[in-house]
Each structure stands twice: as structure tokens, then as C-alpha cells.
Amino acid sequence: MSIPQLPAVSPSESVSLEQAIQIAFRDNAQVKASRYQVEAAKANLTGQRAPINPTFTYGGLNNSVAPTPTLNVNDPSNYSFLFTVETNGANQWRTSEASNQLRQAQADAETAMLNVRQSVTNAYVAVQIANRGLEDERAAYEDIKRIRDLTKKQFEAGAAPQTNAIRADIALTQEVGNLLTQINNVKGARTNLNIALGHKPEEPIDSIEKLEYVAIHPNPAELQKLAATNRPEVKSAEFNRDAIRASVGLQRSQYFPDLVVGTDLRLVKSGVLLVGFTMPLFDFGSIHGAVKSAEKNAKAQDAQVTIERQQVRQDVESAYEALTIAEGTVDAFQGGLVPQAEALEQRIEKGYVLGGNTILDLLDAQSTLRSARIAYYGAIGNYRQALAQLERAVGQPVSALKTAPEIAPIGGGK
């Protein structure tokens, strides 16, 4: 019976976790979108800093020279120029608003990169788990194949009933199905990693790093301090609040006058400029309403900043709790379940060879060991993903994700 094979991936197509993250920072659509938003905010700031554009008008209806309005294109008094100087402070308020919007876009871009880092890490670890699971399935296949061959020889020698040989053949066929399932798991994990990177799902890719595990024991209080300093969501909310506060000033500036300088072609020849100012004669409520609306929006954003800070604290607490639970699960497998399952399988196999245990006892023990190993490495993967969750909650990389040593197999194994 042939063993199913996974499509090969060349070494050049296998990447480390850090390489995968850097590729995603380059190719992931979410990161690209956030960068375009930053560029748009920069362009907006440039525009908002600029003074009001001067205007040029042509119109004979305002001709005060000729008794009758005329559209004579040769009449210099029909051409006028107007330049407004924003003495009401609107330019400064617009600049402040746009500047804070740029800072908000930059903070949002940092958030996007944190999100992508976590999703890539989770996808990469899922590939590692799937690869390790495939190794365990292949080892289980070899174990069952060895037992099948032994049972067949015992039957042919008259030392075992034919039912044992049939049962071993069935177990081997079932394990082929398990292999096919695990191969599909690896393919699915690779597809998800490609999507996280921003690549086509079918592109060949694999993890070059083996599944790793090292326990870290951070101080929860220090984690909260780091998160309060690093999390860009809080910075984004604060910059948005400052932009809204600038909007209050911008709306209120409409109450104050702007300086207006103007002339026409007839007057400019004699060096005459007309200087005046413009401001609302009455406010029927539009300016007052705009100011009040901006003030209320600023207060609402103050509340949003508080919500973001509370969410950050909750994120850190949840991530730390997940890390603690994941470590306890790994310890439980390392300290008891896996070694016990390995010892049980070895004892029952020896008993089967000596006639003290049945084929069903042996196959059950092998199945238990296989499940324990797969669950153990899955628990290590969960711990690694809990580290990624903690990294996201704190807002900065956790060095253990890149420096953890490769795990050593528990027990002798086969």
C-alpha cells in the first residue's frame, strides 16, 4: 500500500516566521491600504495648510463705469481679483485638525501592522502544527504497518488467528485515511498562510522553522504599562479627539472677520487696492449649531479614549490568562499524559509479542499514543498563538516567538 505524499516545497519557498511577517508587511492588502490612508492624510495636511486661493472674476453686471452693464471684454473694469487673508484663525485650526488626522492615520497604520503580525503568526504556527501532525501520522503509519507485518507472519506460522491479521489490515487502511486527512490539513494551513501574507492561495509555501516551545513568565503589571504606552489604538483615539477639538475652533472662527484685498484691471494701473473685511452679519444658528455639534463630538471622543484604554487593559488580562492556561496544558502533557501513553504502548506491545495482550489492546494503545502526541503538539501551538495574542495586546513583539529553542521529543518514540 503506497503512502500518500504532500506536494514538495523547495527550500527557497520555505520561510521563517520573521520572514513571513516582513513579506506580509510588504504584500498584505490591509497594510497597503493603511499606507495609502497615511499618504492621503499627508496630502490633506498640505492642502489645509495652504491659504485660500485668490480668485479672478469677469462680469459686466458690476460695471460702475458704463451707464449700462456691459460684457465688453476690452473693458478693464470687468476684470477683478480678490484675495482673502484668514485673520479669523481658520487656517491654523484647519492645519491642527489635519495634522492630528495624519497622526491618527499613522497610528491606524501601526494597528494594521499589529493585526497582520498576529494573523501571520497564527497562520505560521498552524502550518507548524499541521507539519508536526503529519510527522506523527507518518510515524503512526509505520508503527501500524510493522504490527500488521508481524501479525501476518504470526498468522502464517499458525501462532495467531486470521482475525488478528484482518484487524491489523483494517487499522492500516484507517491510518492511510488519517494520513490523507492530515495532508489536507497541511494544505489548508499553507493556504491560510498565503492569504495572511497577501499572496495567492495556491502558491507553494512552507515553514522553515520547526514547532518551538519556551515558557515565559512576564509580570502582569509590567505588561499593562507596556500596553498603555505602546497600543496605537489609544493613540489613534487621542489624535482623533484632538482633531475634533480643533474642529471646534474651526467652526467658532466663523464668528471673526477675514481680511479681503481686491482690485480690478482699471484700478491696478493706478496702484489702487481695495481693502476690507468679511464676516457674518447675523448667525441664524448655523455657526452656533456647528460649534455645539463639534463640542459634543469632542466629549464623545473623550469617552471613546476611555473605552480604548479599558479595552487595552482587558486585552492584556485576557492574553495573559490565555498564556497561563496554555502553559498549564503543555505542562500537563509533558508531565504525565504523553509519557504515560508512551510507556503504556511499549508495555502492551511487549505483552502482545509474548501473547499476554490482544491485537485490539495494542491498536488501542497506539491510537491513544497517537492522539496524545497530536494533542501535545497542538497544545504547544496554542501556547505559541497565545504568545502572539499577548504580543498583540501589549503592542510590541515578544522575543520568545523568535528565540525559542526547538522542542525535544518526549520519551523514546519510534
Q: In angstroms, rounded to a whole number, what is the distance separating the alpha carbons of residues 192 and 183?
A: 14
Beta-sheet strands, E only, within 248-385: 258-264, 274-278
Q: Dig out the grid coordinates for 50 from the structure.
A: 495652504
CA quadruple 218, 219, 220, 224: dihedral sign? negative
Helix (H, G, I), strand (E, B) or coil at 3: coil
Q: How many CB atoms lie within 10 A of CB 324?
A: 13
Q: In angstroms, rounded to a whole number, what is the distance separating the alpha carbons of residues 169 and 144?
A: 9
Q: Dig out the grid coordinates for 196 from the structure.
A: 495572511
Q: In angstroms, rounded to a whole number, what is the distance separating the alpha carbons of residues 297 and 367?
A: 62
Q: Are residues 65 and 59 in contact, defined by beta-carbon separation less than 8 angstroms?
A: no
Q: In angstroms, rounded to a whole number, what is the distance separating the alpha carbons of residues 144 and 138?
A: 10
Q: Are residues 84 and 260 in contact, defined by beta-carbon separation less than 8 angstroms?
A: yes
Query: Cα–Cα distances in Å, from 245 out to 1, 25, 299?
Result: 73, 33, 9
Q: Are residues 139 and 414 in contact, defined by beta-carbon separation less than 8 angstroms?
A: yes
Say what the pLDDT of residue 405 is. 41
Say what the pLDDT of residue 254 is. 92
261 backbone dihedrals φ, ψ, rounded to 5°: -120, 130
212 backbone dihedrals φ, ψ, rounded to 5°: -120, 160
What is the residue type of 37? Q
132 burial via Cβ count (<10 Å: 0-12, 13-18, 19+): buried
> Which residues partner with 263 through β-bridges?
81
Q: In angstroms, rounded to a whole number, what is the distance separating the alpha carbons of residues 297 and 48?
A: 21
Question: 211: closest CA among 142, 133, 139?
Answer: 133
State the maximum Cα–Cα separation within the chain, in Å, rounded to a whole number.
130
Say what the pLDDT of residue 412 is. 39
Say what the pLDDT of residue 293 is. 95
What is residue 386's DSSP assignment?
H
∠ CA 262-267-268, rounded to 5°: 75
Give the pLDDT means over successive 10-residue stretches in the chain (414 positions).
73 90 94 96 96 82 52 75 91 96 96 95 94 89 87 84 87 89 93 95 91 86 91 95 96 93 80 85 92 95 96 96 93 85 86 81 86 88 93 80 41 40
Q: Are residues 206 and 14 in contact, defined by beta-carbon separation less than 8 angstroms?
A: yes
Q: What is the pLDDT of residues 117-152, one digit of tens each?
A: 999 999 999 999 999 999 888 888 888 888 888 888
356 backbone dihedrals φ, ψ, rounded to 5°: -90, -15
Q: How many CB atoms lie within 10 A of CB 200?
A: 9
Cα-Cα-Cα-Cα torsion 266, 267, 269, 272, nearest 10 degrees, comes to 180
